[in-house]
Chain A
Amino acid sequence: MILIYLNSQSLFIDEFLTLSELLKNQGYISTHYAVALNQYFIKKTQYDKIILNHHDRVDIIRPMQGG
């Protein structure tokens, strides 16, 4: 198991889990979000290719009101 942070919450996950698998396991099935990994934007097309590492920080980004 490795420790990652999903939306700042600590989470233990299996080793060699892809970003795509993490999102699916955590119920992120809609398309209305973007993802930042360690504060860098990750394109949707890359989710399958990224294997998560110890202490990675995954943030789900959603639309909000703005001026």
Chain B
Amino acid sequence: MSKTATLSSAAPKPSFWRRWRFHLSGLLLILPIIYVPKYFETLALSRGLMGLGQRPAGDVQVGPWKLQFAEWRVEPPKSDPAGMVKTFTMAQCAGCENEIRAVYVRVGKPRSLRAAGSIFFGSPHRAFATVPIPPRTAPDAELWVTAEGWDGSVHQAAWPIATASPATVAWLKNQGAN
């Protein structure tokens, strides 16, 4: 007699199911515990306890202003209906918040202020920008940061993708290989 047949004769189907349902309930209670560390990490990141983002990406001097950048999450660009996008965070230098009107970022040098790229939104202490990363971008390409002052002045600075996000460079190299 096979093992299965022995089991089914020893335990009729309803009681067998009931017993396993009990164990499954226990499993369902345990499963969320696995995600607890990730949950608290996300919470800490959102509350700013981990700094600007998961990985500090250094300071960029844009004209008279020093802007501090971070990679929000250390990961390759994410798929979005608008294409592959990557999120960065930025904090303005102390005292600069009254001088800076807007900060933009994009891949490659902007043709004009109108086409300066994605705008950083949020507080001067932590603003977010989601940048489309064209899959054909060269891994050694640069992000360009454009800062516009309330006095009408416009300043630009290049920020290598390799400095901004090594994860994005790795993804771009992989794209090129494909």
Mutual binders A and B: no
